[in-house]
A = this chain, B = another copy of it.
Amino acid sequence: MQQLKDRILKDGRILENGILKVDGFVNHQVDPALMDACGLEFSKRFANAGATKILTAEISGIAPALTTGMHLGLPVVYARKTKPITMPDQVYLTLAPSHTKGRMVELIISPEYLANGEKVLIIDDFLATGATILGLVRLAEAAGSQIVGIGTLIEKDFEGGRKVLKPLGAQIESLACIKSLDNNKIEFMD
């Protein structure tokens, strides 16, 4: 998606350890018009996936998941990383490593909002190693749901997440796929 790639080139910053900082339009400050355009694009790419629910992880997945949900007319569930007191005692819970926090985080979903037989479209900001998304997959499968698609704003191809997710057999889409961040240069896949 050219609009997203252009914005990454303009405002993205390469930090140490292969971290791409997009805090100016995705992860701390959000550009609502860009997120809406990304949601529209996801809605086109997953138009035939048959999804009944969108699943994401708080925090940074919420914006693109919400706009995708607006365009597909689907509810959005975001997995919590801490259990609020409004949640029942029995939950689906798994652990996933957080790249930007440098530690394991919990991913928690209430059975109230993820049912048996649901067809789940996962939307998140980044596809890197695939660890967070695999965590969401475990939660969805524990609930008896089926993953019908995985969409991320930015894929870091060199971290191998797509290979990890491929065996799921779901459609995988990223709106900007990065081949390399070497030599302080952002290089996209064709």
Interface residues in chain A, defined as those with a beta carbon under 8 Å from any beta carbon in chain B: 15, 19, 21, 23-24, 27-33, 35-36, 58-59, 62-63, 66-67, 69-70, 73-78, 80, 82, 84-87, 100-102, 109-110, 112-113
A70: chain B residues at CB < 8 Å are: 32-33, 35-36
Q: Chain A contact residues: over half helix, strand or loop, or mixed?
A: mixed
Instruction: Indicate if the CB atoms of B28 and A75 lie closer than 8 Å.
Output: no
Structural contact, A31 and B101, CB atoms closer than 8 A: no
> Can you list 8 A-B contacts (CB < 8 A)?
A15-B86, A23-B86, A24-B112, A28-B109, A29-B112, A30-B69, A59-B78, A85-B102
Complex interface: chain B residues within 8 A of A66 (CB): 30, 32, 35, 62-63, 66-67
Among residues of B, the one whose C-beta sits closest to the C-beta of A84 is B100
Q: How many copies does the complex hold?
A: 2
User: How far is A21 from B73 in the complex, measured between Cα atoms in Å?
Assistant: 23
Decide if B85 touches A30 in the complex (CB within 8 Å): no
The residues of B that contact A32 with a CB separation of less than 8 Å are: 66-67, 69-70, 73-76
* Distance between A49 CB and nearest chain B CB, rounded to angstroms: 17
Q: Bound state CA distance, A30 and B123, in angstroms?
A: 14
Instruction: Determine whether the beta carbon of A85 is less than 8 Å from that of B113.
Output: no
Q: Among the listed B15, B24, B87, which residue makes an inter-chain contact with A28, where contact means beta carbons less than 8 Å apart?
A: B87
Q: CB distance B113 to A101 under 8 Å?
A: no
Contacts of A86 in B (CB 8 A): 15, 19, 21, 23, 27-28, 100
